[in-house]
Chain A
Amino acid sequence: MVKVWAIVRVELTRLLRDRSNLFFVFLFPLLLIVFIGAQFGSDFSTRLGVVADAGDAEAASLIAALDDLEGITTVAFDSREELADEVDRGRISAGVVLPDGYGDALRAVEPVEVVFLGRPDATSASLQALVGAALAEQVLPGAAATLLVSGRAAVGAPPVEAAELREVALAVEDQASRIEVSATTLGVDELAEEFAGLGQFDIGASSQLFLFTFLTSLTGAGALIQTRQYGVATRMLSTPTSTFSVLLGTGGGRLAIALFQAVYIVVISTVAFGVNWGDPLGATAVILLFAVGAAAAAMVVGSVFSTDSQAAGAGIGIGLGAAALGGSMVPIELYPETVAQVARITPHFWANEAMAELVRRDGTIVDILPQLAALGGFAVALVALGSWTLSRALVR
């Protein structure tokens, strides 16, 4: 193992020493995660849209009360249609439409219709309950105060009697009954449903992880060719190091590079963007199997090509092509059915499917066993092919 580790260590050292990798391995993945996250806006998991008259003090008070609720951020919209569209697309969890003259109606103890726009999910139901409670909290003290003032005026400000309090209570109850919260459940967009509840960067992070882990592995395959061109591979075999150890070390080096890229994206995206990676065990299994496949693919590319520029070109082409087809650039849900079926030939498809199950649907490792089996199949096939081609290339 000492020799295997020596080879792995050299592979990693060479990766980190190549200045061009500083951009492609460290900076570029983060830029893409941020870019894709920006397409989804800021944290939308508990965003509550509000349509209200900006000059209405009572409406402003209600919005402030909603904003004060833990975990809820209100977002102002100009029209009910605009709000409904955003809720429909899943960018806003739910919406509240306060009618024009909302404050006046409250003060006049007149009926008020508040429209709640929700989605058929638990988040909407919770938000509806919270909005109802906030409305009641705002309305009841107002109604009581109104009745007390009018009562005092009528009797010359006598002390509040029990009968009077009873009357206040009845009036409050009456006012409360005048506020109608009409809940409207919007039609469900399947894509919006699929991505509902995700953090801003959750979608981009996992898909970019697979894109870059595969891409970095493949573009780094040129290092294998250099090792042969430099004569180092031959020299390794002239030492008391078996071909198997050289293969293991070389493959291990590729795996270390793939895992390095993957772990870097996981750590930095979690720390910097709070990305949710789902069940840790499941995510680890997916990333590990995917990285093995990526490393083995790099062995194949590094063996069948003769120059590192050929390998780099092929690596970029295959890496980006597989990523695009496998749903790492555009969600697979947007693909036509035929393309989505073809995408199954890429490990990216299965990895993205697995992460969707873990992150979007709160799945566990048990729920992604089919995807893991597919990724395992890719890994085994590619390792076998990579070992065979590299062992032939080493002794050429």
Chain B
Amino acid sequence: MGAVLRCSGLRKAFGDIQAVDDVGFEIAPGETYGLLGPNGAGKTTSISMIAGLLHPDAGEIEVLGTRMTPRALDAKAAVGLVPQDLAIYPDLTARENLHFFGRLQHMSRHDVRARSDEILEVIGLRERSDDRAGEFSGGMKRRLNIGIGLLHQPRLLILDEPTVGVDPQSRNAILESVEALAVEGLAVLYTTHYMEEAERLCRRIAIVDQGRIVAEGTRRELIDTISEQDIVRLKVAGDVHAAAVACDALPSVSSADAEDDEVVCLLDQAASSLPALLAAVSSVDASVVGVEVREPDLEDVFLYLTGRALRD
């Protein structure tokens, strides 16, 4: 099946500031694609162009094969945008908000009514459907914000930092909803500066900094791009020093040292080297009673690629 979203060479400048510089990626149906980067990295500007709110200075955007521009109403109909800032009327009820945006999506009254009931159920606001949104908690407002984006059953859902300012319980509910939507075949573009969210939700992730995609791939691929080695601590019963010498002899191990009852190894590809390490320890009449592996995460990748922490 073809890509739901395909964009390439996107550029956007505001005065002297190059907000987006040569951004491009594709999202397949059922895929959740993450844009991971700190605030000001250009994620929201990219999303604004993809949602047809901004004209790119250069580059192409296609949604289901239709070129996206601010005037491309057909392409917009396939997109559900959930902006970072709440985009709801606080003086209208949850149902009225859904009804209003449903009508703007060209849905019939009947469809809006039926679909609103479904969405209110999904976002857990059925009981509060006739209360004004202004009376909701932050998490409830966030869920309504997402519900509006899902109302017209889009093919591409764009979630721009949907969990900012949300309590842990609501945050988890939102993440579960996104996982469920991807399972149903929805293409999701998810921006965040929370590494854990990107790692949990996204099959592929683009790390964005200063308007550019500095790395892209699966979580594993991204982590593999850095040369930082893993650290493996083996808790050993038996001759610890002999175990350390045996481990050090392995080609993947850069170094292995005995520390009390542990052998501390510095090595590449800890996951794949672990069986060899265990075998090496066993070969010297010792046994491994505990293993601790610490591998780099996306935070380390971002640090490695940009020299700055993700939340700087």
A interface size (C-beta, 8 A): 24
Q: Is the CB of B106 within 8 A of A3?
A: yes
Report the stretch among A65-73, A142-150, A206-214, A236-244 that lies at the interface.
A236-244
Contacts A2-B106, A13-B96, A238-B51 given; does A243 touch B85 at CB 8 Å? no
Closest CB pairs A-B (n = 8): A231-B87, A6-B103, A240-B73, A235-B87, A238-B81, A239-B104, A240-B77, A240-B76
Closest chain A CB from B40 CB (angstroms): 19
Which residues of the partner chain B approach A236 to less than 8 Å between Cβ atoms?
104
Nearest-neighbor residue (CB-CB) of A17 within chain B: B91
Contacts A10-B100, A239-B105 given; does A234 touch B73 at CB 8 Å? no
B71 contacts partner chain A, Cβ-Cβ < 8 Å: yes
Contacts A6-B100, A6-B103, A6-B104 given; does A238 touch B91 at CB 8 Å? no
A-B contact pairs, 24 of them (CB 8 A): A2-B103, A6-B104, A13-B96, A14-B89, A14-B91, A17-B92, A227-B89, A230-B88, A232-B89, A235-B83, A235-B87, A235-B101, A238-B51, A238-B83, A239-B77, A239-B104, A240-B74, A240-B77, A240-B104, A241-B73, A241-B104, A242-B71, A242-B73, A395-B53
Q: Is the CB of B81 within 8 A of A10?
A: no
Q: How large is the interface on B (under 10, 10 to 19, 20 to 34, 35 or more residues)?
A: 20 to 34
Q: CA–CA, A313 to B203, complex, Å?
A: 52
A81 contacts partner chain B, Cβ-Cβ < 8 Å: no
Closest chain A CB from B127 CB (angstroms): 21
Q: Is the CB of B92 within 8 A of A231?
A: no
Q: CA–CA, A6 to B100, complex, Å?
A: 6
B286 contacts partner chain A, Cβ-Cβ < 8 Å: no
Q: CA–CA, A241 to B105, complex, Å?
A: 7
A161 contacts partner chain B, Cβ-Cβ < 8 Å: no
Contact pattern, B 146-189, Cβ under 8 Å of A = 1, otherwise 0: 00100000000000000000000000000000000000000000
Nearest-neighbor residue (CB-CB) of A10 within chain B: B100
Q: Is the CB of A238 within 8 A of B73?
A: no
B52 contacts partner chain A, Cβ-Cβ < 8 Å: yes
Nearest-neighbor residue (CB-CB) of A2 within chain B: B103
Give chain A interface residues in 1-40, CB to chain B under 8 Å: 2-3, 6-7, 10, 13-14, 17-18
B124 contacts partner chain A, Cβ-Cβ < 8 Å: no
Q: CA–CA, A125 to B101, complex, Å?
A: 66
B70 contacts partner chain A, Cβ-Cβ < 8 Å: yes
Q: Is the CB of B53 within 8 A of A238?
A: yes
Q: CA–CA, A219 to B101, complex, Å?
A: 26
Closest chain B CB from A343 CB (angstroms): 37
B242 contacts partner chain A, Cβ-Cβ < 8 Å: no
Q: CA–CA, A257 to B79, complex, Å?
A: 32
Q: Is the CB of A10 within 8 A of B83?
A: no
Which residues of the partner chain B approach A243 to less than 8 Å between Cβ atoms?
70
Q: CA–CA, A240 to B106, complex, Å?
A: 8
Q: B81 touches which one: A230, A235, A241 (CB < 8 A)?
A: A235
Q: CA–CA, A10 to B74, complex, Å?
A: 24
Q: Is the CB of A234 within 8 A of B104?
A: no
Q: How many contacting A-B pairs (Cβ < 8 A)?
A: 71
Which residues of the partner chain B approach A227 to less than 8 Å between Cβ atoms?
89
Give chain B interface residues in 91-135, CB to chain A under 8 Å: 91-92, 96, 100-101, 103-106
Q: Is the CB of A230 within 8 A of B106?
A: no
Which residues of the partner chain A approach B53 to less than 8 Å between Cβ atoms?
234, 237-238, 395
Q: CA–CA, A238 to B87, complex, Å?
A: 11
Not counting A3-B106, A232-B88, A240-B77, a sample of 16 additional A-B residue pairs whose C-beta atoms are within 8 angstroms of each other reads A2-B103, A2-B106, A3-B103, A6-B100, A17-B91, A227-B89, A230-B87, A230-B88, A231-B83, A231-B86, A232-B87, A235-B81, A238-B79, A239-B77, A239-B104, A241-B104
B24 contacts partner chain A, Cβ-Cβ < 8 Å: no
Nearest-neighbor residue (CB-CB) of B74 within chain A: A240
B138 contacts partner chain A, Cβ-Cβ < 8 Å: no
Closest chain A CB from B236 CB (angstroms): 58
B90 contacts partner chain A, Cβ-Cβ < 8 Å: yes
Q: Is the CB of B86 within 8 A of A13?
A: no
Nearest-neighbor residue (CB-CB) of B85 within chain A: A231
Nearest-neighbor residue (CB-CB) of B77 within chain A: A240
Q: CA–CA, A238 to B159, complex, Å?
A: 13
Q: CA–CA, A6 to B89, complex, Å?
A: 14
Q: CA–CA, A17 to B92, complex, Å?
A: 9
Q: A234 touches which one: B76, B83, B96 (CB < 8 A)?
A: B83
Which residues of the partner chain A approach B52 to less than 8 Å between Cβ atoms?
237-238
Give chain A interface residues in 167-215, CB to chain B under 8 Å: none
Closest chain A CB from B255 CB (angstroms): 54
Closest chain B CB from A395 CB (angstroms): 8
Max count, chain B CB within 10 A of own CB: residue among A14, A240, A395: A240
Q: CA–CA, A238 to B148, complex, Å?
A: 12
Q: CA–CA, A235 to B105, complex, Å?
A: 11
